[in-house]
Amino acid sequence: MNDHSWFRLLVRLFGLYLLLAYAPELVMQFLRPLAFPEGYYTSMPTPQFIVFFVMPLVASVLPVVFGAYLFFRGNKLIRWCMRDIIGHCPTCGYDLRGNMQANCPECGCENPYRGKFAVSKPGGLSADASNTVSSG
pLDDT of the residue at 134 = 47
Name the pTM for this structure.
0.57
Q: Pick the residue with more confidence: 17 or 130?
A: 17
Tell me if 66 sits within 8 A of 12, measured CB to CB: no
Lowest mean per-residue pLDDT among 58-62, 105-109, 126-130: 126-130
* Average pLDDT in the chain: 75
Provide DSSP, 58-103.
HHHHHHHHHHHHHHHHTHHHHHHHTTTTTTB-TTT--B-TT--SSB
pLDDT of the residue at 126 = 47
pLDDT, tens only, 29-83: 777 767 766 655 555 567 777 777 778 888 889 999 999 999 998 888 888 887 6
Q: Which residues contact 61 (CB under 8 A, 6 or more apart)?
A: 26
For residue 40, count other CB atoms closer than 10 A to its CB. 16
The residues that bridge with 126 in the sheet, in sequence order, are 120
pLDDT of the residue at 130 = 46
Q: Could you give the percent of the chain with pLDDT greater than 70? A: 70
**In whole angstroms, what is the distance from residue 108 CA to residue 96 CA?**
12
**In whole angstroms, what is the distance from residue 75 CA to residue 37 CA?**
42
**In whole angstroms, what is the distance from residue 40 CA to residue 44 CA?**
10
